[in-house]
Amino acid sequence: MTAFSSRLRAGTPAPSAMRVVLAGSSGLATVARHAGQIGGVLRKAGHEVLEYLSGEINPLGEPPAEGHTTEPFTAAGDIDLVVVLGGDGSILRTARWMGSRQTPVLGVNLGRLGFLADYQPDEVAEVLEEIAGGRFRLVDHLLLEASLHREGRCLLSALAVNEVSVLAGPPFTMIEIALQVDGEPATTFRGDGLIVSTPVGSTAHSLSAGGPILRKDLDAVLFTPLNPHTLTNRPVVDSASRRYELMVPAPNEGSACVVDGRVVSSLRPGDRIEITRGIPRFTLVEARHHGYYSTLREKLHWGGGPHAAGR
Which residues are designated catalytic?
88
Query: How far, in Å, CA of 63 to CA of 14, rounded?
Result: 30
Backbone phi, psi, residue 213, to 5°? -95, 125
- Residues 61 and 32 sit within 8 Å (Cβ to Cβ): no
Query: How far, in Å, CA of 143 to CA of 158, rounded?
Result: 10
Beta-strand ranges (E) seen in 260-299 are 262-266, 272-277, 282-287
**Would you call 130 helix, strand, or coil by DSSP?**
helix
Query: How far, in Å, CA of 85 to CA of 106, rounded?
Result: 9
The burial class, CB within 10 Å (0-12 / 13-18 / 19+), for 174 is middle
**Cα angle value 244/214/287 (rounded, 5°):** 120
**Would you call 240 helix, strand, or coil by DSSP?**
coil
Q: Render 136-162 in DSSP notation, one character per residue.
A: EEEEEE--EEEEEEETTEEEEEEEESS
> Taking the C-alpha atoms of 160, 165, 170 and 175 in order, what is their torsion angle to the nearest 10 degrees?
150
In terms of Cα–Cα distance, which of 13, 16, 18 is closest to 5? 18
CA distances from 307 to 72, 112, 298, 303 (A): 43, 19, 9, 10
